[in-house]
Chains A and B, each alone.
Chain A
Amino acid sequence: MTVEIAGTDARSARTPVQAAGDVTRRRPRPGRSRMAVVSAILLAVTCLLMVFPFVWAALASTKPTDVAFANPPVFRYTPTFSAYVDLWQTTDFYLYLINTVVVAVISTVVALLVGIPCAYALSRYGGVASVVLLILALVFRALPRFAVVLPMYDITRSLGIYDTTYAMAAALIVINQPFTIWLLRNFFAEIPRELDEAAMVDGCTRVGVLTRIMVPLMGPGILTAGIFVFLFAFQEYLTAAVLTDTTSKTVPVFIATQLGQNLPLLQQASAATVLLTLPVVGIAFIAQKYLVAGLASGAVKG
Chain B
Amino acid sequence: MRRRQFWALVAPSVVVMFGFMLVPLYRTLRWSFERVNYGEAGTFIGLANYQAALSDPRLGRAVVFTIGLTVVVGVVCLVLGYVLATLVNGLGRARPVVLGILLISYVSPHIVGAVAFSWLFDSNFGGIVDYLLNAVTGGAFGEPLWFTSTWPNRLIIVLNVVWFMLPFSMLLILAGLQGVSAEMMEAAQIDGASPLQRHLYVIVPSIRGVLGFVVLILTMDVVRVFDSLIPLAPQSLTNGNESLMVYIYRVAFAEATRNLGLGSAISVLTILLILVLLLPSIRSVVKEARA
Contacts and interface: CB of A to CB of B under 8 A. Distances in A.
B109 A235 contact: yes
A234 interface: yes
A131 B116 CA distance: 42
A284 B9 contact: no
B21 A148 contact: yes
Nearest to A43: B87
A165 interface: no
Interface in B2-38: 3, 5-7, 9-10, 12-14, 16-18, 20-21, 23-25, 27-28, 31, 38
A302 B38 CA distance: 40
A144 B274 contact: yes
Nearest to A48: B101
B272 to A, nearest CB: 11
Contacts of B196: none
A296 B178 contact: yes
A285 B100 contact: yes
Contacts of B154: none
A300 B109 contact: no
A157 B179 contact: no
B39 interface: yes
A137 B182 contact: no
Interface residues of B, number: 110
A43 B88 CA distance: 8
A133 to B, nearest CB: 7
Nearest to A10: B96
A54 B245 contact: no
A51 B101 contact: yes
Interface residues of A, number: 116
Contacts of A134: 285, 289
B29 to A, nearest CB: 9
B213 interface: yes
Interface string B130-174: 110000000000000000000000000000000100110001101
B124 A71 contact: yes
Contact of B286 (A125, A131, A155, A242): A131
Contacts of B230: 237, 256, 259
Interface string A128-159: 01110111111111111111111111110110
A281 interface: yes
Nearest to A259: B231
**Among A42, A206, A242, which residue has the most Cβ atoms of chain B within 10 A?**
A206
A161 interface: no
Contacts of A114: 12-13, 16
Given A125-B1, A289-B96, A296-B175, A154 B27 contact: yes
A301 B281 CA distance: 13
Contact of B171 (A71, A140, A276, A291): A291
A218 interface: no
B45 interface: no
A283 B167 CA distance: 14
B6 A129 contact: yes
A147 B271 contact: yes
Given A120-B9, A292-B174, A295-B175, A144 B245 contact: yes
A118 B20 CA distance: 16
**Among A70, A150, A155, A181, which residue has the most Cβ atoms of chain B within 10 A?**
A150
Interface string B82-103: 0010011111000011111111
Interface string A273-291: 1001100110111011101
A53 interface: yes
A25 to B, nearest CB: 11
The 6 closest A-B pairs by CB, nearest first: A118-B13, A151-B24, A121-B9, A285-B100, A151-B27, A295-B175
